Amino acid sequence: MTRTNQRPRIAICGMAIESSTFSPHRSGWEAFTLLRGNELVRRYPFLRDGAPLRREAEWVGVLRAGALPGGAVLTDVYETVRAEIGLALEAQGPFDGVLLDVHGAMAVLGYTDAEADLARTVRAAVGPDCLVSASTDLHGNVSRELAATVDLIACHRMTPHEDDDEARERAATNLLRRIDGAGRPRKAWVQVPVLLPGEWTSTRVEPARGIYEDVARVGALEGVLDASVWVGYAWADEPRCRAAVVVMGDDDVVIAREAERLARRYWDARGEFELVAPAGTYEECIKAVLASDARPFVLSDSGDNPMAGGAGDVTWTLARLLAEPAFANPPEVGGRSAIYASLPDPEAARAVADAGVGAVVEVTAGARVDAGPAGPVTLRGVVEHVHEGDPVAGIVCVVAAGGLKVILTERRRPFHLESDFTAIGLDPRGTDVVVVKIGNLETELYDMADDWMLMLTPGGVDQDLLRLRHTNLGGPVHPFAPPEAFGDGPNLTPELL
């Protein structure tokens, strides 16, 4: 490979979102944050000023469009981003390498393999000699076309994701080393016909914990550059949606052997995966909460998790909490305390904010986007907090309805940190029940919870996958197909790319 300069020139670009095709939500321009230039380069801790990796190359921030998980991306939004990335790579090149930052589960209206399509655009812009290294989420879907179009690919190894930056740094480091050394590695790629949510494949517990420990061991073997296992994204209905394995390196025998072994281990464990926490219906969870002395007891309202692609405004759980006798009165008059985080509704949030702190309000809220499981709720209560200008949520209000404090926002926003609550005057540690729209608890919530359960609720990211009715997976996939559909078992022989 002919170097463009004394230091390699590496472009950074991508489009990252996790998209549920079962959610009526659509991700438009309002969903995306666009970063270019040094603002993009400095987004990565390992590339900030003074970081060793920053000095090893000239890093060029082309464009990254990133969004919270949501519904499918509008076609014109994707095609506009794709066009800018392609044109900018051509105009600012030549490059020795590209760090392609994608999620792997981006659904775009009119496309069935959006990341592969974006990778083709990048390849066409930079030419065949430039090395392209893709950094992805382990809940991405790695089709043959994506694996073949990029030169290197890596993903996280932890669920919940505590190693996002570590995985991206690994992708960047591998790219640098191959530019300076042996060039394009070989890739052993194989898909595994298993598709499970992250809540079933948490690396906090077996069998995923052991599988990903094995992935790290394989990545350190002689003749191997890196190893990755993707769980896939269960809330999209596309032919690429399934688990996948890629082992990269220079020894064809070793990478093929280890890719097949990892794929076989994942397939053999398909019946051992379980939900990461005790789970139950709304009724079962509330019964457990009211019988427990744990405080806070965290309930994960999993079906409408905005961080997995849910619309965020499903009211199914909130309607039941508002009618729950235990929360009809505040604790000082014999009731139980609860926090509900959260419900986005721009009109209702605006009305509550205009009423102001201390006002008694009655607003209709929710189900503007996803009214499938339940319709809008009537929220009556006292306004306890109003904040305008949250960078993600816009308006954030707290309305107290008896012992239940409902967080009402202008736009979808996750509540994963203790500071998310304390910043708006709430005390989650001193509350009996904290209900959050999430699946597997993020680290701070997990550490804060005295006890917790996964509430099995309807929505665009329903944990009951069969209730969603996938029809476009392109072949038998566990758990959607009966055992006999796989005959003597799937062919897990890797393809060398």
- Cα–Cα distances in Å, from 70 out to 25, 26, 28, 80, 235? 7, 7, 10, 19, 11
- Cβ 107 vs Cβ 21: under 8 Å: yes
Q: What does the pLDDT average to over 105-113?
A: 98
Give the whole-angstrom CA distance, residue 411 versus residue 408: 9
Rounded distance, CA 165 to CA 48, Å?
12
d(CA 492, CA 259): 9
CA 81 to chain centre: 20
Task: Provide the pLDDT for residue 445.
Answer: 95
Q: Please say whether the beta carbons of 399 and 386 come within 8 A.
A: no
pLDDT tens digits for range 385-436: 999 999 999 999 999 999 999 999 999 999 999 999 999 999 999 999 999 9
Beta-carbon contacts of 133 under 8 Å, excluding residues fewer than 6 positions away, are 97, 98, 99, 100, 150, 151, 152, 153, 154, 171, 172, 174, 175
pTM of the model: 0.93
What are the tens digits of pLDDT across the range 175-184?
999 998 889 9
Q: How confident is the model at residue 110 (pLDDT cuts 50, 70, 90)?
A: very high
Is it the case that residue 267 has pLDDT exceeding 70? yes
Q: Which secondary-structure segment (H or E) carries 9?
A: strand 9-16
The three-class DSSP label of residue 25 is coil
Q: Can you point out the beta strands (E) in 175-307? A: 186-192, 224-230, 243-249, 279-280, 297-301
The CA distance from 401 to 328, in Å, is 7
- pLDDT tens digits for range 455-475: 999 999 999 999 999 999 999
Average pLDDT in the chain: 96
Does residue 31 contact residue 70 with C-beta atoms inside 8 Å? Answer: yes
Q: What is the mean pLDDT of residues 197-224?
A: 96
The whole-number average pLDDT for the span 302-319 is 96
| For residue 238, pLDDT beyond 90 | yes
Query: 43-94 pLDDT, tens per residue?
Result: 999 999 999 999 999 999 999 999 999 999 999 999 999 999 999 999 999 9
Convert the pLDDT of each residue in 20-53 to its tens digit: 999 999 999 999 999 999 999 999 999 999 999 9
- Residue-level pLDDT at 3: 59
* Neighbour order of strands in the sheet with 32-35: 32-35, 58-67, 9-16, 97-101, 131-136, 152-155
pLDDT number for residue 2: 53
| pLDDT at 1 exceeding the cut of 80 | no
**E strand map for 96-181:** 97-101, 131-136, 152-155
How sure is the predictor about 97, in pLDDT bands with cuts at 50, 70 and 90? very high
pLDDT of amino acid 162: 84
Instruction: Report in angstroms the alpha-carbon separations of 361 from 131, 382, 383, 401.
Output: 58, 6, 7, 10
Strand-strand pairing, 32-35 and 58-67: antiparallel
Q: Token pair 């954030």 is at which residue?
A: 396
Q: What is the pLDDT of residue 443?
A: 86
Mean pLDDT of 122-134: 98
Residue 5 pLDDT > 70: no
* pLDDT for position 6: 82
